[in-house]
Amino acid sequence: MSEIKVPEMGESITEGTVSKWVVKEGDTVSQGDVLLELETDKVNLEISAEEDGVIESITRQEGETVQVGESVGVIGAGNGAPKAPPAPPAKEDKPAPPAPANEQAREPKTDLATAVAVSKPETGDTIATPAARKLARERGIDLTAVQGNDPIGRVKHDDVRKHDDKPTNLGAAPSKPAPPKAPAADSNPAKPADRVPMSRRRRTIANRLVEAQHNAAMLTTFNEVDMTAILDVRKRRKDKFKEKHDVGLGFMSFFTKAVVGALKAYPMVNAEIDGDDVIIKKYYDIGIAVSAKEGLVVPVVRDADRLGFAGIEKEIASLASKARNNSLALSELQGGTFTITNGGVFGSLLSTPILNAPQVGILGMHKIQVRPVAIDDVRMENRPMMYIALSYDHRIIDGSEAVSFLVKVKELLEDPETLLIEG
C-alpha cells in the first residue's frame, strides 16, 4: 500500500488545487499511469502512480486545495489486478458464532455513524470542502442547513449549489440570521447566465496584477516605431532563414535583441528592488508573455544576449508551444529580468502593460498600422507604424531614463543592422 502524495513543485509553490481525477476508487493502475491533474499558480501538473495496484481510496476531491506533501489518496497492494475483498475479521483462531442478522444489518450504519462522529469537530461546525465554504460565503448560506450526500457527512460544492436552487430551505431556521444575500447572477431564468469559478491560475494572475499596481509607482511612456526596415529585412531574408534554421523569422527576435541592447545602455531597467537595496542584474533573461487557455503565462528566454536571431526564434516557438499544451516546467517560468508582451497579435493599437513583479520594466508591442507619416517638411508617406509602450517602476527609474530607454529601442528597431552590433 502507498499514499498518493502532492509532490514538491518548486520553492515558490506550496499548494495546488485538485483539478481532475483521471481514475476512481477501485480502478486498477500500473506504475506511471496518470492519476490526477493538479492546478497550481503557474502550471498544471500530472501526478502519476509510483507502483502497480488498485485505487483503494480518494481522500481529496476535485476543487479542493492541497498542500505539498499531503496525501490525496491510497493505492492498495496489487500487481495490476484488483485486490481480493478482505476476509471478515476473527477474534480468535476458532470460528466465532455468527452475529444475529439484525446486528449484522446495523454494523455498517454504526461504523458510518462512528466515522462521522470522529471526523466532525466537537464545536458543531459543519464539515465542508473549501469550494463549498467559499460558495456558501458568496451566497450567504448557512452550511448547517445544507444537506450533504457524502458518506462521512462532508458538504461539497454541488450540495451548496443545489441547496441554493431550492425554493425554500425546507428546514428549521438557522440559529443566527444569515447575512443578506445579493441575487445570484444565474437566479433569473429570463436572463440566463453561467456562473463559472475562476481557475487557480486566473485568481493568481488577478491577485498579482493588483499587487503590482499597489506596490509599485507604475508609469507608462509611449513612442512609435517605423517598421519599414524590419519588414524589408523579413521580406528579403525570411525564406533563406527558414530554409537554414527551420524556424520562421518573426518580429519577436528583433524586439528581444533591441530590448537587450537598450537594457545594456540603461541597466537600471534590468534591476529589482529588494527592501532598501537595488539589485542590478548583469544577465538578460527576457520573459515573453504568451496567451494560453488558462490565462497569460510568461516563459523566459534565458541569456537572450548570447543567442542569435535563430536561437531566439526557436526558443520562443518552443516555449509558446509548451505554454499552449500546458507542459511548461516551473523553471521555465521563473527568474526573468524584463518582459515583452505583444498585444498586437490580438489587434491592440495601444495599451499600458502592467509590471511583472518583481521586474521594474515591461515593453508592450502593438498592431502594425499603415498611416501617413511626415518624412520632412515637404513629404508625407504611408508607413507601417507601431506604437510601443514601456511601463516602469518610478521608484528607481526616472522619467528621463525611461524615455531614453524607449528611444533606444526605437532606434535599434528602425536600423536593424545595429542589432547585430549593439544587441
- State yes or no: cis peptide before 197, omega within 30 of 0: no
- Contact in structure between 16 and 36 (CB atoms under 8 Å): no
Q: What SS3 state is found at 240?
A: helix
Half-sphere exposure of 243 (CA within 13 A, CB side): 4
- Contact in structure between 200 and 14 (CB atoms under 8 Å): no
Residue 150 has phi, psi (to 5 degrees) of: -70, 140
pLDDT in tens, 358-379: 999 999 999 999 999 998 999 9
The pLDDT-based confidence of 171 (bands split at 50, 70, 90) is: very low
Q: Record the pTM.
A: 0.62
pLDDT in tens, 118-133: 333 433 456 777 667 7
Alpha carbon distance 36, 22 (integer Å): 5
Residues with catalytic function? 394, 398
pLDDT in tens, 197-235: 887 777 777 887 888 888 889 999 999 999 999 999 999
Q: What SS3 state is found at 329?
A: coil
Q: What SS3 state is found at 305?
A: helix
